[in-house]
Chains A and B, each alone.
Chain A
Amino acid sequence: MTTHYLVLSALLFAIGGVGVLVRRNAIVVFMCVELMLNACNLAFVTFARQHGNLDGQLIAFFVMVVAAAEVVIGLAIIVMIFRTRRSASVDNANLLKY
């Protein structure tokens, strides 16, 4: 019964992963990361249901809290980068390398 949820979770995770890998715009990449996190959340909740305990639900809350904090900092960084470089492309910010 819960298999469909897991399949959906996997699909969402894959879509998010592909989005992170192929998209250049930092905002879109960011949204894809959120998609992956929420796919995980779905999987956690599904497993909680499947096993009949609350551990998964609990972890999902933690993930949400962390995601919220991450969004705050990440968006601030993206805005700063955009202000200085007039671009939000992740490929343009490639100075930190060998």
Chain B
Amino acid sequence: MQSPAEIVQHSGGVIGVSWLMIALPLLGAAILLLGGRRTNKWGHFLGVAMSLGAFVVAVLSFVELTGLDPDQRRRAFELFEFIPGMVNMGMLIDPLSISFALLITGVGSLIHIYSIGYMSHDRDRRRFFAYLNLFVAAMLLLVLSDNYVGLFIGWEGVGLASYLLIGFWQHKPSAATAAQKAFIVNRVGDFGLLIGIFTIWTTFGSLAFADLTQQVTGQASEGTLTAIGLLLLLGACGKSAQLPLQSWLLDAMEGPTPVSALIHAATMVTAGVYLVVRSGAFFEQAPTAQLVVTIVGVATLLAGAIIGCAKDDIKKGLAGSTMSQIGYMMLGAGLGPAGYAFAIGHLITHGFFKANMFLGAGSVMHAMNDEVDMRRYGALFPVMKVTAVTFIIGYLAIIGFPMLSGYYTKEGIIETAMEHNAILGWLAVLGAGLTGFYMSRMIFMTFFGKKRWADDAHPHESPAVMTWPLVILSIGSIGLGAFLILGNRFMNFLSPAVGLPQELPETHVFGFGPAALATLALVAAGAALAWFRYGAAEVPAVAPRGSFLTTFARRDLYGDALNEALLMRPGQWLTRIAVFFDNRGVDGLVNGLAAGIGGTSGRLRRVQNGYVRSYALSILFGAAAVVGALLYVGNM
């Protein structure tokens, strides 16, 4: 077993100016938001340029980093003193953060380019690009910061960008509600993360990753480490839509499709996985917390897959699938150094094939007058070949078709889980089978079968600015998995940041292990079932009522109902009681006191009746009382 390398102070070079990665998109967002209508004409080009600029800096940093010795590849440098004596803001460029930076800026730039076409008819395209740039900046701050405070600021920044972009079409009440839901559910997770960071500070007196090595964290009691792990996991659950904080992700599909692709599939929702891997020093010494991470991962991967099986809205189907795939990543991240490389590898390949499919779905919607119901699609393959072919490549990658990206990364997670705990492993295999079913269902309903189009639909291929990103992403969906996983290339690359397991796993171009074969068999069975039900058979244009299980999945496993019954109703009662107490109790006391004083003084002022002689009488009585009192006191 090899521990992560020491973090070395860095100066100069491209890495020394890698803060430009954050600054460029942030500058873009500022110009576009403050510039107002003046920037309408060229705003989208500026947005793309800033994102591409960040990508170039990321690539150059990556090249410089790979030029160093492996044990020197964790470079930190301080930017400024943020909270004196407590936090120095700085950047940490190591294999883990640079992998994320490349994914965020690379896929992010492609989605920026795609958005030029997708949002071309939107009046607010400039504002859209401003928010996208803001998101890229915040996400990069999240992954590049060398301490938990910077991570938290980025974490909140991506939450803000996500909120703004889900509610981008705020004239739709459903979008506005979905944005608020995402924000509120994320608050719960952020609360956990914040308390976790507080606990780290009070226990270890530092928040910098460089100080929180395994030797340091090993000195704390296991109870403290478990508490920190579980609190961080709560934060991760909120951001990554894991059970029990999953309910916002499906509603988040109200945002424009490029947003769903970038934020709610490829990058932001994977921040939870990053947090767990980055905090490995805590998790690896708290087996209970790790076990909970894997359980959450497996539960979510099954829940997401079941939801995906019943959704007719193409974007919600993909959202269920995203939940499920992030469940796999969580499972991998909970397995320690043996799983990290597969979790992050799956995260990167998923970033490609899921962004590919989301953008493909956006292309289909673009062609079908923003129709999202797959029951109104069908037979789209001949009319939009590029979209269809790239979508199918993404599909084959996600179900784990041999030799494609998802096959290697997902198989790696399943194999590692199997060694760790057979129950977790077999549940993950079952999830893969479900993936085969619901993704095939999506493909058959969208691109094959009979036309079920609305009368005014005239589908056509999308413009080149939208199809080229699809092509590039699908190339990543094909080759990236093999490139990363075979020969443990990615595991060795990541090792300075996250450490290595005791023995490296064997990798095969095609695995013959029982788990690998069982997975393939289940996926094939799922795909075949989908073919019989949705490919060969007629698909009704209106959804049939379905069995209990279908309703269960359609209603997101009753997640919203559960939240409503457990949290919303009691919350409403609490507020009602508080309002009642406030109105009757507090207000009653204050108003009663005021009314009492007012009434009394209203009566007392009658004494001032304007008759001088009555005043004289009262003076007389007053004087007599004073004299009497003096006499009484004097005689005591």
Contact = CB atoms under 8 A, between A and B. Distances in A.
Contacts of A1: none
Nearest to A96: B610
Interface size class of A (residues with CB under 8 A): 10 to 19
B620 A94 contact: no
A90 B615 CA distance: 12
B610 A94 contact: yes
A40 to B, nearest CB: 12
Contact of A21 (B605, B608, B609, B616): B616
A36 to B, nearest CB: 10
Given A20-B613, A24-B613, 12 more contacts: A22-B613, A29-B612, A90-B611, A90-B613, A91-B611, A94-B610, A97-B608, A97-B609, A97-B610, A98-B606, A98-B608, A98-B609
28 contacts: A17-B620, A20-B613, A20-B616, A21-B613, A21-B616, A21-B617, A22-B613, A24-B613, A29-B612, A29-B613, A90-B611, A90-B612, A90-B613, A91-B612, A93-B612, A94-B609, A94-B610, A94-B611, A94-B612, A95-B610, A96-B610, A97-B609, A97-B610, A98-B605, A98-B606, A98-B608, A98-B609, A98-B610
Nearest to B606: A98
A97 B616 CA distance: 15
A90 B613 CA distance: 8
B416 to A, nearest CB: 90
Contacts of A96: 610
B611 A21 contact: no
A96 B605 CA distance: 12
A90 B608 CA distance: 15
A12 B608 CA distance: 29
Nearest to A18: B620
Contacts of A90: 611-613
A92 to B, nearest CB: 10
Question: Which 5 pairs show the lowest CB-CB distances between chains A and B?
Answer: A97-B610, A94-B610, A98-B605, A98-B608, A90-B612
Nearest to A94: B610
A24 B611 CA distance: 10
Contacts of B605: 98
A91 B613 contact: yes
A93 B609 CA distance: 11
Contacts of A91: 611-613
A48 to B, nearest CB: 21
Interface in A54-98: 90-91, 93-98
A68 to B, nearest CB: 22
A90 B616 CA distance: 12
Interface in A1-30: 17, 20-22, 24, 29
A96 B612 CA distance: 10
